[in-house]
Amino acid sequence: MSLYQLERERDIDELVETLRRSDNPSIRRRAAEIIGGLFESDDVDGTDVLPEPETQNDLGIETENTETESDSVVDVLVSVVGEDDDRGVRAAAIDALDKHSQEAIERVVTELSEKDLGSAADWVAAKAFAEVLDDEQPELRMAAATGLGRVGDPSVTAALVERLEDSDPRVRCRSATACGRIGDPRAVEPLEERLRNDRDIDVRRAAAEALGEIGNEGAMRVLIDGAGDPNESIRRVVADSLGAFGSVAPVETLADLLEDESEAVRRTTMFSMVEILSNAPPQRSHDVREATAEKLESATAGEVIPPLSEILTESSGTPQRRNAAWLLGRVVGDQHRELAREALVDALGDDDGMTAQFAATSLARLGDPSLESELLELVDDSEADEAARSKALFVLGKVGGETTREELGEFVDRSESDALREQAFSALSKLGGIGAGETP
- What mean pLDDT, rounded, does the chain reach? 86
> Around 113, how many Cα atoms within 13 Å sit in the side-chain half-sphere?
27
Average pLDDT over residues 24-29: 96
Does position 159 have pLDDT exceeding 50, yes or no?
A: yes
Taking phi first (over 0 means left), then psi (-120 to 50 degrees means alpha), and beta for anything else, what does residue 198 get?
Answer: beta
Q: For residue 294, give the amino acid letter.
A: E
Length of the chain, in residues: 440
Does position 66 have pLDDT exceeding 70, yes or no?
A: no
Does position 43 have pLDDT exceeding 60, yes or no?
A: no
Contacts 24+ apart (CB under 8 A), 407-416: 407/376, 407/379, 407/380, 408/379, 408/434, 409/434, 409/435, 411/379, 411/380, 412/440
The per-residue pLDDT for 361 is 92
DSSP-assigned states of every residue in 182-231: HT-GGGHHHHHHHHHH-S-HHHHHHHHHHHHHH-SHHHHHHHHHGGG-S-
Cβ-based neighbours of 6, under 8 Å, separated by 6 or more: 14, 15, 18, 31, 34
Q: For residue 424, give the amino acid letter.
A: A
Average pLDDT over residues 339-359: 92
Q: For residue 228, give the amino acid letter.
A: G
Cα distance between residue 322 and residue 359, in whole Å? 8
DSSP state of 62: -
Cα distance between residue 69 and residue 370, in whole Å? 66
Q: Provide, rounded to the nearest whole percent, the portion of the chain with pLDDT above 70.
A: 88
The per-residue pLDDT for 69 is 29
The per-residue pLDDT for 51 is 41
Burial 104-129 (b: 16+ CB within 10 A, else e): bbbbbbbbbbebebeebeeeebbebb
Q: For residue 223, give the amino acid letter.
A: L
The per-residue pLDDT for 333 is 63
Helix axes 102-113 and 138-151, enclosed angle (nearest 10)? 150
Continuous H helices in 335-401: 337-347, 353-366, 371-380, 386-399
Confidence class for position 303, pLDDT limits 50, 70, 90: confident
The closest of 394, 304, 400, 300 to 345, measured between CA atoms, is 394
Confidence class for position 47, pLDDT limits 50, 70, 90: low
